Amino acid sequence: MKQSKPRYNHITKRKLCQISVAVLIPLLNLSEWNIKLRFTRRLANIAECYAQPEYKKAEIVVHLIELGKLSSKEVITMSLHELLHCITWEVTTWNARLSGTNEHRSEHSRQLDEHLQTDLERILYPLIESAVLSRLQMLGYKKLDLTTTQT
């Protein structure tokens, strides 16, 4: 089926997130996974990933309102960050098991996991940026401003 060109050169953050995830899945060697992307207005964070590596399944849930506050670059990095959870999920769950019911250890383990995702995201982003931009241009969207959000 031929994809139609967008009517406008503007891309919504939701569409950018969807395209980013679609481009990143094969680049991260997650093509065999069944990854669902869902948007909601009820979420404590900007996004969350729930992975089941033993079944090669994952669900990424994104908060629509918070997504709209991100820059284009932040949407792409958030997509990358959440997909990276699929790769590191087993380490994350192992750390959680080691932490047991100790609240301090559990929080420390969660923070280490988030730092790992963020470090990997920073390393990989320069390698994936051109692939996402190429796909967007192929779909007819003009070059995006990939600067971070202005505060």
pLDDT tens track for 13-53: 999 999 999 999 999 999 999 999 999 999 999 999 999 99
Mean pLDDT (the chain, rounded): 87
**Given this model, what pLDDT does residue 151 score?**
37
9-23, 53-67, 91-105, range with the lowest pLDDT: 91-105
Q: Is residue 150 part of a domain?
A: no
Q: Is residue 3 part of a domain?
A: no
Beta bridge partners of 110: none
Number of independent structural domains in the chain: 1
Record the tokens describing residue 49, joined without a space. 């990933």
Give the residue-averaged pLDDT of 125-138: 92
**Given this model, what pLDDT does residue 2 score?**
56
Q: What is the pTM of this model?
A: 0.85
Query: What's the helix, strand, coil split of the chain in %, to 5?
Result: 60, 15, 30
Number of Cβ within a 10 Å radius of residue 23: 20
Record the tokens describing residue 109, joined without a space. 């383990």
Full residue range of the structural domain in which residue 66 is found: 13-135
Q: Which CATH number is 103's domain given?
A: 3.30.2010
Q: Is residue 8 part of a domain?
A: no
Give the residue-averaged pLDDT of 81-97: 86
Comparison of pLDDT for 101 and 151, the residue scoring more:
101
Q: Is residue 7 part of a domain?
A: no
- pLDDT band at 10, cuts 50/70/90? confident
Q: Is residue 5 part of a domain?
A: no
Q: Is residue 148 part of a domain?
A: no
**Given this model, what pLDDT does residue 8 score?**
54
